[in-house]
Each structure stands twice: as C-alpha cells, then as structure tokens.
Amino acid sequence: MPQMNMVQAINDALRVEMRRDSRIVILGEDVGKLGGVFRVTQGLFDEFGGERVIDTPLSEGGIIGTAAGMALYGSIPIPEIQFADFIFPAFDQIVSEVAKFRYRSGGEYPCKMVIRTPVGGGIRGGHYHSQSPEAYFIHTPGLKVVCPSNPADAKGLLLASIRDPDPVLFFEPKRIYRAGKGEVPEGEYLVPLSKASVVRPGSQVTVIAWGAMLFEAIEAVNRAASDGIDCELIDLRTLWPVDLDSIIESVKKTGRVVIVHEAPKSCGFGAELISLINEHAFVYLEAPPVRVTGWDTPFPYTLENEYLPLANRIHPAIVKTARFE
C-alpha cells in the first residue's frame, strides 16, 4: 500500500474521482497551473484541463455562487477556498443558498458540492490563516461538515463526500498536511460519513478530538496513561451530522469526558457536544464535562502555541477530570 501524506492523499482522491466522473469540476484561486497554494491540486490541471480545473478571479463569493449554479446544472463542483479564514465573503452563498436550495425548492433543486478548505492553526499564520470556523456551518441546517485527521481518512472521507448527495464542507487541517505519511489504499476507498473512529479504547475518560488536535490528544492520552489513567480517544472525523452513538456509548462507559477543539470556546462545537451528552447520558456522568479549546480571542500570531489546545493543556484536564469526585 502506498505511503502518502495528507496532501498527496487528497490529491489522489480528487484524481480518482475525476477520472471516474466527468461531472466533477475543481474551481478556486490558484488551483490550476500552480496546483493550489498548498499544492493539493497539483497535476490535476495537466491531466484534466482548464475546463475542469479552473483558476477563478479572486472572489470567494463568486467561486461559491458560480459553483452553486454549476451544481444546479448537474455538475459536481469541488470549489477550494484558499484558507477557511477567507470563506466569509462566500458565507451568504453557502448559508443562504447552497444549504437551503433543496429545502426551499421543495426538493426540486439539490445543490451538491464539496467545499474544500484548509483549516486551523499551527503554521504561524496569525488571525487570517489559522481559524477554525466549523461551528458557523454546523449551525446551518443542510450542510455536512467533515474534518479528517490522517491521510487515509482524508482520502476516504473526501471520496464519500464527493459521492454524498448533500453539500459538504471539507475542512483540511493544514498543520498536518505534511506532518507524516501513512498507508493509503489505492483507487477507490471510502470512509463513511457520520462514523467516528475510536482511536484508542479505554475505560476511565472519553477524550473527543478531530483534525490536527487529534495528535495533541494522543500525546495527552499517552501522558495520562503513564499517570495510570486509561482514556478512550474518539476521532469524530465527521463533525456534522455527528456520530452521537459512538460518543454516548463511550461516555456511558467512562462517565467522564474531555473535548478538544481549536476554535474559540464559547458556542464552539464542544458546547453542542456537551449538551448532547447531557441530554443522552446525564445520569452516567461522574464529572463535569470539560472543554480544552482555543481562547475567546482572535487567533494570535506570536503566542499561537499558548492559544492552541495542545497536549500541555489537554493532559492536566484529563487528570483533573479523571480524579474528580
């Protein structure tokens, strides 16, 4: 099985699907000859040509608005927003249009597309190359939200997203784009949406993470293990619709939960997860659920490692939760 990093795995997924389905069109800023600022679409322009791998004007609203029109026509657009921080000019098209088309037209007009965008911090990008805006989109009925943590999942989830009938926001954790290689199955390989992965089974504390923070959670869970605390670590993979069953099953077993995300704490996705846990597993809880997240500040430049919920903050949260009486 070939070894790939996440960039290569996503590129491979796009190539596999574009060869299979001529309706697929990639559009975005610098996605053509350059292959994207992170080189995720490298080589696709040469293979599929300028009508399927399209460099657009510098306009996120125009990219998603025209992609919506393409989707209505029957194409399968895969627009790239260069950084998730730049998605806001397209917010109206995503939230008011793409997410609502099927519903508002009484089912006449599906508006299926996969919006790919690099997300998260850790690359010294300051405010505008680091944010994690998933909560805005999870909050919008009609959208699905995916965030892989490793190359194989990135490929499998992207293929599943492209074949899904609904619009998907595919957040790519850029901090781990090239962090390491893993085995990625060749050709067609699908990882189903809305299925979490139990990365490490355990009995005492449930730790929930996704994307780049999964590796910080792994580090923290390993440190906790040396303290004698046995954690169960869940990688959500699909954020919405979330795999509630896996979460609840785990929390019923452990009674204790720590949730990790980069986005600011207040009204972040962790808040929703804790509400769901309260609704479905309240009587099993033995400690208050804990969030380890980015602070409620804009994303900083120099102090980004103090902002991010890295292992140094996750580990003590696990210990405190495990020992809560």
Partner 1 sequence: MEFVLDEIYRVLSPEGEILPNRQQGMSDELALSLFRHMILTRLLDERLTAIQRQGRIGFHIGSMGEEASILGSTAALRSNDWLFPCYREFGALLWRGMPLKNYIDNMFGNANDPAKGRQMPDHYSGKPYKFGSVSSPIGTQITQAVGFAWAAKNRKDPLVTLTYFGDGATSSSEFHNGANFAGVFRTPTVLFCRNNGWAISVPTERQTASATFAQKAFAYGIRPVRVDGTDLFAVYQVTREAIEQISNGGPPVLIEALSHRLSGHSTSDDPRVYRTEAEMEAERKTDPITRLRSYFTARNLWSDAQHEALRTELDQEIKQCIDLSSKVPAPALRTMFEDVYQTMPEHLKTQWAECEAAPRAAGHGSPGH
Q: Which member of 86, 88, 109, 301 binds partner 1 (CB under 8 A)?
A: 109
Catalytic annotation present for 129: yes
Separation between Cα atoms, residue 55 and residue 126, nearest integer Å: 26
- As measured in angstroms, the least distance from the Cβ of 315 to partner 1 is 32
For the purposes of burial, counting CB atoms within 10 Å of the CB of 271, is it exposed (0-12), middle (13-18) or buried (19 or more)? middle
Separation between Cα atoms, residue 319 and residue 213, nearest integer Å: 18
Question: How would you classify the pairing of strands 231-235 and 197-200?
Answer: antiparallel
Map the footprint of partner 1 across residues 81-100, applying CB under 8 A.
Answer: 89, 92-93, 96-97, 100
The two tokens of residue 258 are: 């720590």
- As measured in angstroms, the least distance from the Cβ of 63 to partner 1 is 9
- As measured in angstroms, the least distance from the Cβ of 99 to partner 1 is 9
- As measured in angstroms, the least distance from the Cβ of 101 to partner 1 is 6
Q: Spot the catalytic one: 129, 139, 261, 280.
A: 129
Q: Rule CB under 8 A: is residue 236 a binding residue for partner 1?
A: no
Residue type, 58: L
Q: 158: which residues sit within 8 A by CB, 6+ positions away?
A: 10, 13, 14, 17, 114, 116, 146, 148, 170
Q: Which member of 38, 102, 208, 261 binds partner 1 (CB under 8 A)?
A: 102
Q: Rule CB under 8 A: is residue 187 a binding residue for partner 1?
A: no
Separation between Cα atoms, residue 222 and residue 227, nearest integer Å: 9
DSSP character at residue 153: H
Q: Which member of 2, 3, 46, 59 binds partner 1 (CB under 8 A)?
A: 59
Map the footprint of partner 1 across residues 5-34, applying CB under 8 A.
Answer: 25
Q: Which member of 1, 107, 282, 302 binds partner 1 (CB under 8 A)?
A: 107
Q: Which of 70, 91, 71 shows the shortest CA–CA distance to 81?
A: 91
Residue type, 133: P
Q: Rule CB under 8 A: is residue 134 a binding residue for partner 1?
A: no
Residues lying near partner 1 in the complex (CB under 8 A) = 25, 51-52, 56-57, 59, 61-62, 65-75, 77, 89, 92-93, 96-97, 100-110, 141-142, 144, 165-166, 194, 241-242, 244
Q: Which residues are designated catalytic?
A: 129
